Amino acid sequence: MLQSNERFRITYRLTCDADEDPYAKARDLALEQTVELPAEVLPPHIADLVVGRVEAVDPVGDPPGDAGVSAWRVVLSYEAEVTVGDDVTQFVNLLFGNASLKSGVLVEDADVPATLLMRCGGPRFGVPGVRAACGAEDERPLLCAAAKPLGLSPAELAAVCYAFAAGGVDVVKDDHGLADQAPAPFAERVPRCQEAVERANADTGGRTLYFPHVSAGADLAAQLEVVRAAGCRGIVVSPLLIGWETTRRLAADSGLVLFAHPTLAGAFFHPTHGIRPDVLLGRLFRTVGCDGVIYPNVGGRFSFTLQECEAINRRLREPFAVHRPSFPVPAGGIAAERVPEWLDRYGPDTVFLLGSSLYRQKDLRAAAARLVEAVRRRAAVGG
């Protein structure tokens, strides 16, 4: 007989049309995400233990207006071992898999079952490990610059990397559009860029790291071999493209720092249907082991609000299981001159990722050096 050991809770915000009953919609979701059968054909022990349990249905916000649309906060609980076990893929499936094909279902919060937390283990480096790798163990924010654009040769990309490293940023990362294209094949550009960063470090006494983007689109093992042989300490990955388990495995087994890129994530951010940004990029990316999570900062080229950005920061840093905190990496059009201001707002456990605003200054080394200096001054004042 099935026994219940641990239940975990998922909080949804359900948006109901005038003809939808929120209680019925909640029960439907509890069936859809587990047994995919109507309640009346289930054996009693399955109905009791396997189907999600509706723990709460509470109205949210204004009462329905003329259109009759209403919003409800719904908490479902699930039995952990029976529905998920230690399978991160199945966890995301249960969270929003078939629910994605319905409408008006927004994941607002999600516990992670204990067994899954143990298997995932969270960030292997996290804030302290990344600080140690960069030699930035003091209370200061880290600075990251993006090597780009797609289309440059390995030598040209290496020159960009040299300039940023010589300017003193902590991390130079590949643009996430750099894969294994003809202008700069992966196996050529990664050693060239790493060598350039090491040369800059030797020239300046710096400790800049270079994180190539591993698209995992070709032979992943071969790409990791190139990364390790070159001596890189970390990589950039795109969890929503390469899959949850591949990301988890890279965090657990590669020995490399993982910075996660949010590509494709916007598909989930419709205001009434999807997964809230702090749950997807904060809770879930951290759970599978991302040491840093890149997200589009408010006021840049994308559409997050300040509140959403701060919620992501909080999820990445808050005490959570025994997992290390991850670095928030705001990006997506941060102006270099505003970094000190963002530092005041987001605090020192932040990696600021810059691209365009450095490239606009033409002399990349000087641009990076100015940024480093401005942040150092502000951090000193703040401390």
Q: Is 268 in the site for a second copy (CB under 8 A)?
A: yes
Q: Is 100 in the site for a second copy (CB under 8 A)?
A: yes
Please name which of 120, 122, 107, 94 lies closest in space to residue 35, comparing C-alpha atoms. 94
Q: Is 290 in the site for a second copy (CB under 8 A)?
A: no
Q: Smallest gap, in angstroms, from Cβ of residue 321 to a second copy?
A: 19
Q: Between 23 and 359, whose beta carbon lies closer to a second copy?
A: 359
Applying CB under 8 A, the span of 27-35, 68-76, 199-207, 225-233 interacting with a second copy comes to: 27-35
**Single-letter code of the amino acid located at 53:** R
Q: Is 167 in the site for a second copy (CB under 8 A)?
A: no
Please name which of 295, 325, 321 lies closest in space to residue 310, comparing C-alpha atoms. 295
Q: Is 267 in the site for a second copy (CB under 8 A)?
A: yes
Candidates 69, 220, 372, 374: give the one binding a second copy (CB under 8 A).
Answer: 220
Q: What is the dihedral of CA 187, 189, 191, 196, to 10 degrees?
A: 180
Q: Between 81 and 198, whose beta carbon lies closer to a second copy?
A: 81
| Bridging pattern class, strands 273-275 and 269-270 | antiparallel
Q: Smallest gap, in angstroms, from Cβ of residue 377 to a second copy?
A: 26
| Bridging pattern class, strands 142-147 and 105-110 | unpaired
- Write the interaction track for a second copy spanning residues 325-344; mark x where CB under 8 A is met and - where it is not: -------x------------
Applying CB under 8 A, the span of 87-95, 120-128, 334-342, 369-377 interacting with a second copy comes to: 87-95
Q: Between 133 and 241, whose beta carbon lies closer to a second copy?
A: 241
Please name which of 295, 335, 341, 334 lies closest in space to residue 314, comparing C-alpha atoms. 295
The H or E element containing residue 196 is: helix 186-204
Q: Smallest gap, in angstroms, from Cβ of residue 135 to a second copy?
A: 28
Q: Between 74 and 136, whose beta carbon lies closer to a second copy?
A: 74
Q: Is 77 in the site for a second copy (CB under 8 A)?
A: no
d(CA 72, CA 32): 18
d(CA 256, CA 279): 24
Number of H helices, E strands in the chain: 17, 14
Phi-psi region of 344 (alpha: psi -120 to 50; beta: other; left: phi over 0): alpha
d(CA 254, CA 221): 10
Cβ neighbours of 380 (radius 10 Å): 9
Q: Smallest gap, in angstroms, from Cβ of residue 332 to a second copy?
A: 7
Candidates 64, 129, 149, 382: give the one binding a second copy (CB under 8 A).
Answer: 149
Residues 196-215 that bind a second copy (CB under 8 A): 215
Beta bridge partners of residue 275, listed in sequence order: 107
Candidates 123, 212, 274, 330: give the one binding a second copy (CB under 8 A).
Answer: 274
Residues 34-63 that bind a second copy (CB under 8 A): 34-38, 40-42, 45-46, 49-50
Q: Between 108 and 180, whose beta carbon lies closer to a second copy?
A: 180
Token pair of 343 as six digits: 């530092």
Does residue 154 have a cis bond before it (omega within 30 degrees)? Answer: no
Q: Smallest gap, in angstroms, from Cβ of residue 30 to a second copy?
A: 12
Q: Between 22 and 52, whose beta carbon lies closer to a second copy?
A: 52
Candidates 14, 134, 142, 152: give the one binding a second copy (CB under 8 A).
Answer: 152
Applying CB under 8 A, the span of 19-27, 65-73, 98-106, 120-128 interacting with a second copy comes to: 98-106
d(CA 331, CA 179): 20
Q: Between 32 and 170, whose beta carbon lies closer to a second copy?
A: 32
